Amino acid sequence: MSSAPPLSGIKVLDLTKLAPGPFCTMILGDLGAEIIKIEEPGPPTGRRAQQAGAAGTQGPATSFSGSPFNALNRNKKSIGLNLKSGPGKEIYIRLAQRADVVVEEYRPGVAKRLGIDYATLSARNPRLIYCAITGYGQDGPYRDMVGHDLNYIATAGVLSLLGRPEQPPTIPHNLIADYAGGGMHGAIGVLAALVARQQTGRGQYVDISMLDGAVSLLAQSLSSYFASGQIPRRGETMLDGGIPNYNVYSTSDGKYITIGSLEPWFFANLCRTLGCEQFIPHEFDPAKREEIHRFFTEKFRTKTRDEWFEILTKSDICVGRMLTLDEVDKDPQIRARNMVVEIDGADGSKVRQVGISLKLSDTPGSIRSLAPTLGQHTEEILGGLGYGQEQMERWRSEGAIK
């Protein structure tokens, strides 16, 4: 029998809006934490209304952020709170006094101007863990610069590695700095601080920079450069298309098969299956790479992607189909691992979302609720803080809450 999720009893205040912060708190929520989203009351105006790409979507922030299909806001409660108002700030500070974690992604200095920064809150709650996710971090010459994922991965050196030779670098969506460098590192930082708090009894400030996170993902690449002094050329290394046996090939149906047969035994299996045993001794021969690549290219065009996948998986070969998003949830391995799940919506409909990637044997995470509407839990949360209905109605009429 499984126990409660590992973060049960942990209360997190979520001040975030765009991809990295909501992904961080989604991870914490999936692991059982109670996530309270602090959202601005009232319809969005100005920049907030214009802001696009929320949570990795392609449309305006307001069109998707509260949608039940938005996995980043699942397992969260929503309170509409104007932090620039006196009542809003009072409520927030009272919430923070009872919270375990705050996650925000303001520009450096904004939280201090609002009077809700770590120094202010930790004086009232020394056990509070305060995680700030920013582009460049809380110090350094770029501290106050604005940016997005593309800017951070460019500065980190990641972008210089992505793409084909003699071509402009390939923009890899906002997965590297936003989600891995920012959101995932933020969750790791919070979890580490929670463990440290068990030892010290005190919370701490967790400074997460998306640039730092992107640089850390280059640990092996940078270590290799530091040791050799050789700058890898885009599209010409073993792991980015520079060799034929770690590459992508078009098939007869216009789809793509991926080959990752780096080790000699896997390369030998590939050559035997494709009928080109003569290449087995030449895996590491630069003079043969063009000839091998040309053979592979022509050979893979003779069958469909799925036909090749069926053939190659029977011969202990590192192979994968390049799936488009409409194919992902049909893949048997992804289904078996519950990485696309169906959740019951409030209206009885079925909502598909990405599943939980962290598989814990005794204390698994869970999806307990879909994304809330703005202010859906305001009265519940304020009632828990001891505020009465009359007071709530007055603050609502003043625009302090929703």
Residues known to be catalytic: 148, 178
- The torsion defined by the Cα of 31, 35, 37 and 38, in degrees rounded to 10, comes to -140
- Residue 114: both structure tokens together: 């609002």
Give the residue carrying structure tokens 């920013």: 134
Burial of 265 from C-beta contacts in 10 A (0-12 / 13-18 / 19+): exposed
Q: Are 62 and 224 a contacting pair, CB within 8 Å? A: no
- Residue 16: both structure tokens together: 């975030």
101: alpha, beta or left? (left if phi > 0; alpha if psi -120 to 50): beta
Q: How far apart are CA 205 and CA 136, in angstroms?
A: 16
- Residue 321: both structure tokens together: 């189909």
The upper half-sphere exposure of residue 152, i.e. CA atoms within 13 Å in the direction of its Cβ, equals 32
Residue 340, strand partner residues: 354
Q: Which positions ≥6 away from 110 have C-beta within 8 Å?
A: none
